[in-house]
Every structure is written in C-alpha cells, then in structure tokens.
C-alpha cells in the first residue's frame, strides 16, 4: 500500500509520522529492569547510557559536560559559543537570563556572539573536560570546521561533531573561504566524527559514505527551533529516524560490515520521545531542552541554539524552560511527577524490560503501532 497522498493535481506527498503518532508494543516476554543494559559504544568509546548533551550554550558548559560524562553519557561542547568567545561566559549567561523581552534578548545575544572565537579558549575549555577524566567532545558548524579543526584536535578532543541544521557530504562555501570536503576531511582526521543533521534515507547514506562514525538525525524539531516557520522545513522524527536506520542497514551491506551509529537529535522533550527514538532505530539520542530544564544547566531557565541569534534570519528562539530538578535527577531520578521530564534512563530501562529486551541494540527491533491522533 502506497503511503503517498495527493496534495493537489501537481503535487504528491509522502505520509510521515511523529513520535506522538506511534506507540511501542510489548512482547510476550518481560524481564526485571535490573537485567537490562543501557550501554552504548561508538568507535573505541563506551558509555553507560546512550545520551549526548547537545552542543548548545543553554545545555552544555564544561562543568555540565563533565557531570554528564560522570553520569555515563557524553557532553558535547559548543566550540562556537560563549565559552570560546569570552573569558567570563558565566557573566554573559547571567546577563542573558535577566533579559525578559525577546527582541532585546536577540539584540544582546547577537552582540555577545559577535565576539571572535579565541583558539586559546577552545583549548582551555576542552582541557578542563579532559582533566576531569571523561570523554571529550566538541562541535563546530560546517563553515567553521576547517578553520578550527587543528586547534580542536591538538586540544585532545576524543569525538568531533560537525552539526548544522542540515549537513551535506560536500559543503560549498563562499569565495575566499575554504570549502569543506567532508569525505576528505574525515579520512585525514585521526578522531571519529559524528555529523548531521540528516532527515532522509539518501542524505544519510551519503554522509555514511564519507566515513562518519555517526549521523545525527533531525533538524527543525527542537523546542528552540523555528525552522518549520521560517524556512518551511520539517522532518517528523519517527519517520526520519526509521529512514536513516534503513540507510544504516543498507550501508552495512554495501561497505562489507561498517556500522554507522544513528543519533536522534531534536524533538526529544520527554522520556517517551527518547524511548520511541530508540525503538525507531536510533543507537543514541542528543538531548537539548530536556537537559536545559536542569537547575544546574547553564541556561538558567532559558534555552536557545545558534540559530536564535543569526545576523539576518533567526531560525530559532530563546524559550523559557521550567527548572525543577538537577541534571542527575533528570537522568537517573527519582521522578516526582509523571510527565516524562525526569529519570530518563530509568524510563528507558523500564520500557526495555516491559518489552522483554536486554540491551539497546535489541530494543531497536521492538514492535510499534500507528495510532492516529
């Protein structure tokens, strides 16, 4: 049965699905949550939980990256953010948090993010994370990657993330700026690269062929994103993840056994979304707003991405988030209310146990149903 529908005589569209439209179907077997493993391994790095902290100034600071690392996940630093532009970013974050008017906030954020990125601050921030004994990860956008890669690698990054709204296998830059040939870049780099976002089978397959260790799935779906409104771009995450997971399977055959990790990035506001992302085929998730809610998050009750302070076309916004519990409780509980905002790992463990699966890779095979809203 075709999943295409007719928009009009000259245009057809594919029917796709959001997390809210699907549900997980338990099997006949169950198990105790204590018998479930939530571990995740990418390249030579093993983590107790399949969670990455999004490289956003409201989510990850060196301190929160360290904290998430000690909780078993991976914190990814935004290497184009306030932490690499200002000697005292805490003061700038305080200032942003005290501005209530959105227009004033965007104006001030543009000024703060106009400060040049300082290579010495990149080194200092990554060194701070490394000295804590956790895995070190940093992110750059495609147009900044060539400029700062040497600095990042020399600083001792373990995992390198190239993250944009959408990333292609070959990024074309304006005249005078060195373009990013992703395949060549990854081939010449000594550290594993995670790249994205992608939201279709074909775009993900192209990224996998560049040699990436992982592909980020999604754009325009996060709490702070307005890409759907400003650009008309939208990628419902259930279908996007399943499509990219399909590309992973085909590339595994094509490459003779090379496995590329699928990492859901965006629109994962609750533990239910997190769990459904794994069920649709994700190996791990990158969380933004879900972690920005922590009382110890650097955003101080606000959440925003790089698109919020774009010079001429903001594709995101600064949004208020309710801060209730610290990061450790968001990850491991206990949860005090049943809204999916806390004990994310406990919820994943419980869903896996209820469905009878013992590890994350197995849980990708769980049955799902479509239930029209």
Once rounded to an integer, what is the mean pLDDT over residues 60-86? 98
Spatial separation of the C-alpha atoms in residues 244 and 208, rounded to whole Å: 10
> Does the structure show a pLDDT above 80 at 314?
no
> Does the structure show a pLDDT above 70 at 371?
yes
Once rounded to an integer, what is the mean pLDDT over residues 95-124? 95
Domain annotation covers residue 228: yes
> Does the structure show a pLDDT above 70 at 110?
yes
CATH of the domain at 50: 3.20.20.70
Asked if residues 289 and 304 have their Cβ atoms less than 8 Å apart, the reply is: no
pLDDT, position 290: 96
> For residue 106, how far is the Cα from the chain centroid?
23
pLDDT, position 308: 63
Domain annotation covers residue 128: yes
3-class SS string, 265-291: ECCCCCHHHHHHHHHCCCCEEEECHHH
Sign of the dihedral through C-alpha 300, 306, 310, 314: negative
Domain annotation covers residue 9: no
Rounded to the nearest integer, the mean pLDDT of the chain is 91
Domain annotation covers residue 332: yes
Spatial separation of the C-alpha atoms in residues 281 and 366, rounded to whole Å: 9
Q: How is residue 233 annotated by DSSP?
A: -
> Does the structure show a pLDDT above 80 at 185?
yes
pLDDT, position 102: 87
Domain of 215 in residue numbering reads as: 20-370
Once rounded to an integer, what is the mean pLDDT over residues 85-95? 98
Q: Structurally, how many domains does the chain consist of?
A: 1
> Does the structure show a pLDDT above 60 at 270?
yes
Once rounded to an integer, what is the mean pLDDT over residues 269-286? 98
Once rounded to an integer, what is the mean pLDDT over residues 154-176? 76
pLDDT, position 372: 76
Place of tokens 């001792």: 156
Once rounded to an integer, what is the mean pLDDT over residues 46-51? 99
pLDDT, position 170: 55
pLDDT, position 310: 62
Spatial separation of the C-alpha atoms in residues 280 and 264, rounded to whole Å: 10
Domain annotation covers residue 328: yes
Once rounded to an integer, what is the mean pLDDT over residues 302-309? 78
Once rounded to an integer, what is the mean pLDDT over residues 212-237? 76
Q: What percent of the chain has pLDDT above 90?
A: 78
Spatial separation of the C-alpha atoms in residues 237 and 26, rounded to whole Å: 21
Domain annotation covers residue 7: no
> Does the structure show a pLDDT above 90 at 180?
no
**How would you classify the pairing of strands 74-78 and 51-53?**
parallel
Once rounded to an integer, what is the mean pLDDT over residues 1-8? 79
3-class SS string, 127-177: HHHHHCCCCCEEEECHHHHHHHHHHHHHCCCCEEEEECCCCCCEECCCCCC
pLDDT, position 318: 85
When mean pLDDT is compared across 7-21, 120-134, 271-285, the lowest value belongs to 7-21
pLDDT, position 224: 56
Vertex 356: Cα angle to 73 and 284 (nearest 5): 25
Once rounded to an integer, what is the mean pLDDT over residues 143-168? 89
Which secondary-structure segment (H or E) carries 353?
Answer: helix 344-355
Domain annotation covers residue 5: no
Confidence bin at 104 (pLDDT 50/70/90): very high
pLDDT, position 167: 60
Domain annotation covers residue 15: no
Spatial separation of the C-alpha atoms in residues 52 and 160, rounded to whole Å: 13
pLDDT, position 45: 98
Q: Model pTM?
A: 0.93
> Does the structure show a pLDDT above 60 at 243?
yes
> Does the structure show a pLDDT above 70 at 165?
no
Once rounded to an integer, what is the mean pLDDT over residues 121-139? 98
């Amino acid at each position: 049965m075709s999943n295409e529908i007719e928009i009009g005589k000259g245009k057809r569209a594919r029917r796709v699905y959001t997390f809210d439209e699907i549900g997980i179907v338990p099997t006949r077997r169950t198990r105790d949550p204590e018998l479930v493993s939530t571990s995740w391994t990418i390249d030579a790095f093993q983590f107790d939980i399949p969670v990455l902290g999004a490289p956003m100034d409201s989510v990850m600071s060196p301190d929160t990256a360290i904290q998430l690392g000690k909780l078993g996940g991976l914190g990814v630093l935004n290497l184009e953010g306030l932490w690499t532009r200002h000697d005292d970013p805490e003061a700038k974050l305080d200032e942003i948090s005290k501005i209530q008017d959105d227009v004033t906030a965007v104006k001030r954020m543009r000024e703060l993010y106009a400060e040049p990125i300082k290579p010495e601050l990149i080194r200092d921030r990554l060194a701070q994370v490394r000295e804590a004994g956790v895995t070190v990860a940093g992110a750059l956008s495609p147009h900044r990657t060539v400029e700062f890669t040497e600095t990042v690698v020399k600083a001792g990054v373990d995992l390198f993330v190239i993250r944009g709204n959408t990333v292609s296998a070959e990024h074309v830059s304006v005249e005078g700026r060195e373009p990013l040939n992703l395949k060549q870049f990854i081939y010449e780099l000594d550290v594993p690269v995670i790249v994205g976002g992608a939201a279709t089978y074909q775009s993900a397959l192209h990224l996998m062929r560049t040699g990436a260790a992982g592909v980020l799935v999604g754009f325009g779906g996060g709490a702070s994103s307005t890409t759907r409104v400003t650009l008309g771009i939208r990628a419902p995450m259930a279908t996007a993840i399943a499509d990219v997971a399909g590309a992973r399977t085909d590339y595994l055959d094509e490459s003779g056994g090379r496995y590329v990790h699928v990492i859901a990035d965006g629109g994962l506001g609750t533990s239910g979304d997190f769990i459904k992302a794994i069920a649709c085929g994700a190996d791990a998730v990158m969380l933004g707003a879900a972690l920005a809610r922590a009382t110890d998050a650097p955003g101080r009750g606000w959440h925003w991405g790089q698109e919020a302070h774009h010079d001429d076309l903001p594709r995101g916004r600064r949004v208020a988030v309710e801060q209730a519990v610290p990061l450790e409780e968001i990850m491991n509980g206990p949860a005090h209310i049943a809204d999916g905002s806390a004990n994310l790992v406990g919820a994943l463990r419980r869903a896996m146990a209820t469905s009878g699966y013992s590890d994350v890779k197995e849980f990708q095979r769980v049955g799902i149903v479509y239930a029209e809203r």
